[in-house]
Structure 1
Amino acid sequence: MSATKLQLRTALGFVYRDVLPNPPRDCTPDEIPVIDLSPLFSEELSERQDVAAQIRKASVNTGFFYVRNHGIPAETIAKCKEQGLRFMRQPAEQKDLISSRNCSKHFNGYTGSAKTNISPTESIDIRESFSFRYSPELDPDHPMDVSELPEEVSQGIQGEDFVWEGTAHLPNFKEDCVAYWASCLRLARKLVRSFALSLDLEEHYWDDKVTHPGADSVFNYYRPRTEQETKDNSVGLGSHTDLQMFTLLWQDNIGGLQILSKEGQWIKVMLLENRTNIQPRQSKEPLVVNIGDYMMRLCNDIYISTVHRVTNESLLERVSMPFFFGLNFNCVEGVVPSCITDSNPAKYEPISAGEWVQKRFKQERKAFDEKAASSIAPSAVVVQT
């Protein structure tokens, strides 16, 4: 049996990958390593540089790694998960009051199951999602009203209040969801410094470019596949790459995330508790981190934005909570100086983070318009692991 062609949507149009006919296999510890982030909070630069070296090794390999001791309290994660489940277990008509398709300019809100088709060569997506984006008044480090921002910054803000107005009947829903989002934002601002060190840049290279960043929070809900969906090999979320710099992902212990290797082999992102090289205490609420397309562009393709997908093959519901992090939308960035040499000149022209995002959205909008008459309308957001 020969390899099949996988069609992927990107900001620059369709690209194709060969996929081997072999069934998905478990990952090895080297393919998706575990990195202890405790040294991020150390005052010793050498300890922070050690974390950066581990990040670099993982980023040039598969572009995926686990992190532990990341500083996000287990209680914060648990409360957000519970709120997401409460929302998803509501009647459909209640969830549709904050429909992303009907209510949002920036794809905030609720998207129902079988309403997206992220990967054109795979099935529709058997997934529901709730999402919200950066709003400056919610920023844990420097909260302010959007009116206080310069126009070139405020025009890139994509948070929308309707998501909270339509969930006000759920006690503490906004507070608990924002608490998890804010914790991820704080961690991402620390982690972006490690990425800078990993690329031989000054540690604070991106600090002034992540003051009002792309920072999207998503709650994904995957019900178990039906018998027919299993026969049809339906996916929970089709093959894609993430869009911005990097993603922080909390997922439950059901499993289902798979990444595509350079050779075209699907690899299962094993749960830490199922890996023999991990002690039980080390797997307490770990996060998965993966490289996004914009980071790959900034580092001249040294780091890998890896294709991945999700499928829930269990008889239980599956939950994940990704957080997508990028630069301020008005920041214009090209390939960073440390990634340019005589033998490896810059492959990409400078582009603003906002324009980069819009390029991807335009690709999705085109697909949306082409299928507008269909009962399955693809979402404009393709970065929801």
Structure 2
Amino acid sequence: MAATIASVGSSYDRQSELKAFDQTKTDVKGLVDAGIRKILPIFFHPRDTTPKISTTVFKIPVIDLQSTHRASMEEMIREASANLGIFQVVNHGIPMSVMDEAAQRVRRFHEQDDEVKKGFYTRDLSSTLAYNNNYDMYSSPALNWRDTFFSFRAPSPPPPEESPEICRDI
């Protein structure tokens, strides 16, 4: 199915469209499953806020947890968190099979019936478990074409029975 971009008319009410999208609690996958043929304007970046393509090349820092230089490792984490917002952790002791299974479970979460997923839909940023689209939906200039399921596991993970059954034991 080829998607096209919907045009935005002068009577476009962004807040109403955001609210209607949010109330479906089915997010991007719900649009695709419904057979959407045009990309909704809530996903458009206004011309004056369109992100500029940068030619800056950056390297994602790699944090080796088997390093004997703890102070250096802590500084790399601090710097990456403050300046880049991302880093890769290696030698953490989690088997690749467990990481692959976790990714598969999250994929299965998104493939579940909408009614099951809606039970985890929230915009409450203090929730330890959440399924939603963009946490900043009502303040960002454009939505990202993605759905998110996240779970804060530290310092206090949610009780297992609160986790989605499909993800519970991984």
Q: TM-score scaled to structure 2, two decimals?
A: 0.50
TM-score when normalising by structure 1 = 0.26
Richer in strand (by share): 1
